[in-house]
């Protein structure tokens, strides 16, 4: 796969974020841009200017791990950015070592095995769900389906958190910190694009969002990536109001490329009571559904 444009834009964007002062270099006169010059990155990485210019043109094929590490140090990359650079290098080398275990799942063709759904259903105190790197919601417990009711209502057959975030006005209410969620959403998709560059469904999603959302297009062009494993988020649910929830994201060993996420509330907090109200609301909503009424 020719990923030279992706490499070029990523390295250029990282170089633009580092000031000479941050790198321990004098700013000097006649500096036209706030970031580092190529020559400065080359000096910090202990490679020739010509060699670094070659890398920044997108030619990562055959680059040694020691050079990659030197460039990562020079650009002050964090763990997520270092991993992204490694993924881009492996794609440039034609290596599928990362993607080989990741079985491609065409839309609508993956269903959770029974034990996974049993596991999700056994979690009753908080929303629990499985997503892929494209942010498709693939499986969920009852509380997660109620929690993401707006997402499921927006696209009942193919619920996707990225589409909801950027294309559904309801996301502005659901996410009080909408800008932070939007940044995180795009960073997750950008990370997945580096990790799984042959995913046509991901390319289609990015194309759709880039066409329909200027907010997405601007963020996509920033080339930011991040790991998304733990933290706290605020939500506003239409049925129960404000919720402040902690989350843990767990990579699934049995299903490479999928993440199990569980939301919980601080014991004794208003949000814990909010989740109990959400569970009651979900049970009532389920009992009132046409399927349940027919079964009764």
pLDDT tens for each residue of 33-71: 779 999 999 999 999 999 999 999 999 988 999 999 999
User: Which of 1-15, 19-33, 66-80, 227-241 has the weakest average pLDDT?
Assistant: 19-33
Judgement on whether residues 78 and 144 belong to the same structural domain of the protein: no
Judgement on whether residues 267 and 169 belong to the same structural domain of the protein: yes
Give the whole-angstrom CA distance, residue 200 versus residue 114.
28
| 286 or 196, higher pLDDT | 196
In a domain, residue 245? The reply is yes
In a domain, residue 56? The reply is yes
User: Which of 56-60, 83-87, 90-94, 252-256 has the weakest average pLDDT?
Assistant: 90-94
> 240 is written with which tokens?
């129960």
Q: Give the C-alpha distances (Å, rounded to integers) separating 293 from 49, 153, 157, 265.
A: 71, 20, 22, 32
Judgement on whether residues 47 and 142 belong to the same structural domain of the protein: no
Last residue of a domain, one of 39, 59, 92: 92
Per-residue confidence (pLDDT) for residue 193, from 0 to 100 = 92
Number of domains in the chain: 2
According to DSSP, the β-strands at 230-237 and 137-140 are: unpaired
Q: What is the pLDDT of residues 222-281, one digit of tens each?
A: 999 988 889 999 999 999 999 999 999 999 988 888 999 999 999 999 999 999 999 999
**pLDDT category of residue 2 using cuts at 50, 70 and 90:** low
Judgement on whether residues 183 and 268 belong to the same structural domain of the protein: yes
Judgement on whether residues 76 and 143 belong to the same structural domain of the protein: no
Judgement on whether residues 9 and 135 belong to the same structural domain of the protein: no
Nearby residues of 275 by Cβ (< 8 Å), 6 or more positions away: 125, 126, 143, 240, 243, 245, 265
In a domain, residue 19? The reply is yes
Half-sphere exposure at residue 208, Cβ-oriented, CA atoms within 13 angstroms: 13
According to DSSP, the β-strands at 230-237 and 241-251 are: antiparallel
Last residue of a domain, one of 61, 92, 123: 92
Q: Hunting for tokens 């929690």 — which residue is that?
A: 147
Judgement on whether residues 49 and 158 belong to the same structural domain of the protein: no
Per-residue confidence (pLDDT) for residue 173, from 0 to 100 = 97
Angle at alpha carbon of residue 91, lines to 85 and 96, rounded to 5°: 120
In a domain, residue 58? The reply is yes
Judgement on whether residues 152 and 218 belong to the same structural domain of the protein: yes
In a domain, residue 106? The reply is no
**CATH code of the domain containing 133:** 3.30.450.180
Per-residue confidence (pLDDT) for residue 140, from 0 to 100 = 96
Per-residue confidence (pLDDT) for residue 254, from 0 to 100 = 84
Judgement on whether residues 157 and 234 belong to the same structural domain of the protein: yes
In a domain, residue 109? The reply is no
Average pLDDT over residues 173-202: 94
Last residue of a domain, one of 60, 92, 124: 92
Average pLDDT over residues 100-120: 70
In a domain, residue 72? The reply is yes
In a domain, residue 198? The reply is yes
Judgement on whether residues 119 and 258 belong to the same structural domain of the protein: yes
**CATH code of the domain containing 66:** 1.10.260.40
- Output the pTM of the full model: 0.84
Give the whole-angstrom CA distance, residue 274 versus residue 280.
10
Judgement on whether residues 291 and 253 belong to the same structural domain of the protein: yes
Judgement on whether residues 30 and 119 belong to the same structural domain of the protein: no
186 alpha-carbon distance from chain centroid: 6
What is the span of the domain harbouring residue 59?
4-92
């Amino acid at each position: 796969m020719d990923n030279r444009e992706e490499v070029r834009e990523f390295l250029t964007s990282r170089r633009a974020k580092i000031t000479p002062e941050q790198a321990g270099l004098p700013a000097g006169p006649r500096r036209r841009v706030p970031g580092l010059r190529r020559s400065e990155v080359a000096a910090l990485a202990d490679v020739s200017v010509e060699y670094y210019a070659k890398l920044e043109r997108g030619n990562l094929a055959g680059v040694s791990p020691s050079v990659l590490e030197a460039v990562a140090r020079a650009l002050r990359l964090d763990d997520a950015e270092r991993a992204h650079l490694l993924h881009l290098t492996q794609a440039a080398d034609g290596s599928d070592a990362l993607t080989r275990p990741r079985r491609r799942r065409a839309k609508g063709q993956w269903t959770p095995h029974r034990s996974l759904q049993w596991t999700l259903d056994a979690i009753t105190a908080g929303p629990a769900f499985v997503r892929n790197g494209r942010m498709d919601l693939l499986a969920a417990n009852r509380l997660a389906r109620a929690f993401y009711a707006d997402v499921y209502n927006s696209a009942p057959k193919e619920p996707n958190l990225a589409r909801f975030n950027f294309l559904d006005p309801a996301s502005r209410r659901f996410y009080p910190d909408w800008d932070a969620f939007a940044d995180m959403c795009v960073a997750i998709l950008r990370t997945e694009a580096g990790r799984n560059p042959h995913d046509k469904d991901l390319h289609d999603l990015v194309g759709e969002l880039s066409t329909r959302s200027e907010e997405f297009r601007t963020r996509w062009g920033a080339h930011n990536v991040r790991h998304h494993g733990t933290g706290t988020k605020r939500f506003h649910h239409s049925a129960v109001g404000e919720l402040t929830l902690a989350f843990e994201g767990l990579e699934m060993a049995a299903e490479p490329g999928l993440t199990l996420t569980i939301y919980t509330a601080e014991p004794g907090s208003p949000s814990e009571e909010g989740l109990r109200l959400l569970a009651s609301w979900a049970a009532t909503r389920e009992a009132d559904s046409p399927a349940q009424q027919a079964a009764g």
